[in-house]
A and B are shown apart, each in its own frame.
Chain A
């Protein structure tokens, strides 16, 4: 589904992605973690080309991103992206936030798009908020609407860039619950997060990054109980809630 082959990226002289090789299969849930500045956000943003790569090969949903003939807008419609800062459109109501792209790009009628949006809103528990504006919602609610906005395009891949980092602690759970539900439904997901409980429960693999390179790539049990590199050990020790230690022998 997603294939990085020797991918490199520089911001001027800063080598943010250093020879990345990574594969994500259909239906897989991948959690990317690592210290800030390790390139994990940049990595996830290259998948829908919010950041173009400088070197190497990146294939997403069968399309080569460095190929000029790839229609990037068409590809992005197949990839949902959830931001740390939600980025809902403040001038549009919740329902319009969700239905804008399906109406403009999928050719859905307003009625069909709204019907579909209401199904999704019901699933994330926000059906009664359909006509409210984003500023009237809590952070957790905004993020659930943002996830719904992504799902409304019926994407084949969902990307999450630190979806809970801007939330108050008591709102993190409601967003993670939606993501867990999504993971169980078989969605291909790449999630940049520090929520190790989430990683442990739903991830198929954890990718640990530092200084632009992938240092470790392992199933969560293996990564949390038996990290191979000192850098990963150090990182895991510094996390405030070491849930990963709970069931290690």
Chain B
């Protein structure tokens, strides 16, 4: 009975958990978590495409520096990247960048490196004959990439993009360190305010993270199966 009543703290703050002070104030909680993850995911798909295309270039002076960038990012913890952005961006732009944007840029920068490897694998997974056939008709390397290779490769990349999105949802929890009120931050706020129910609160947000991530993981698994079926035809 006491355990159940302790969960009253969740019920009391349920709206705050899901949308923060929205619509009167800024979006927070689960809403902000999904916003951070979606925005970074979309941006890093573009970042990944650019980095990925550069890294498969036959010209060493293009592929080598892009691989260096990719490997450097992959060798640094995400938390470092976020701190780095937090202190570096204002210095570069000479003005204050909001914490939310800082985090989105940090996540994008970090995830682009991983996306680029998905893109790279997607491109390299297309049989060599496709590129040869395309350039044999007189298309340039880039035209062949855009009209022939990428449309086929992107289809194969979709499940991996969704998986990366799931990673992003979990990674957004690091935004709490610079004071962005996403789900983890909201949870610590409520915990600090009530002081009595840390177990219940953190158990609850773990479940929320799990449900969201599990839903997207299932989606990605379904997509993989569907694509498999298409290939078999």
Contact = CB atoms under 8 A, between A and B. Distances in A.
A235 to B, nearest CB: 27
A50 B134 CA distance: 11
Contacts of A73: 135, 138-140
A79 B136 contact: yes
Interface in B132-180: 132-140, 143, 147-148, 151-152, 155
Nearest to B130: A87
Nearest to B134: A89
B129 A48 contact: no
Interface residues of B, number: 19
B207 interface: no
B133 A89 contact: yes
13 contacts: A50-B135, A73-B140, A77-B137, A85-B129, A87-B129, A87-B130, A89-B133, A91-B155, A104-B143, A104-B147, A105-B137, A105-B139, A150-B136
Contacts, number: 62
Main secondary structure of the interface of B (DSSP, over half): helix
Given A87-B133, A91-B152, A135 B233 contact: yes
Interface string A71-85: 001101111110101
Interface in A56-110: 73-74, 76-81, 83, 85, 87-91, 100-101, 104-105
Interface in B100-147: 127, 129-130, 132-140, 143, 147
Contacts of A74: 138
A87 B143 CA distance: 17
Interface residues of A, number: 26
A153 to B, nearest CB: 6
Given A100-B147, A104-B147, A135-B233, A87 B132 contact: yes
Nearest to A74: B138
Given A91-B152, A104-B143, A104-B147, A153 B137 contact: yes
A104 B233 contact: no
B137 A83 contact: no
Given A89-B148, A91-B151, A135-B233, A81 B136 contact: yes
A101 B233 contact: no
A149 interface: yes
Given A83-B132, A104-B143, A76 B151 contact: no
B230 to A, nearest CB: 9
A70 to B, nearest CB: 13
A154 B170 CA distance: 55
Contact of B129 (A77, A80, A83): A83
Given A87-B129, A89-B130, A104-B143, A76 B136 contact: yes
Contacts of B139: 73, 100-101, 104-105
Nearest to A98: B137
B53 to A, nearest CB: 18
Contacts of A78: 138
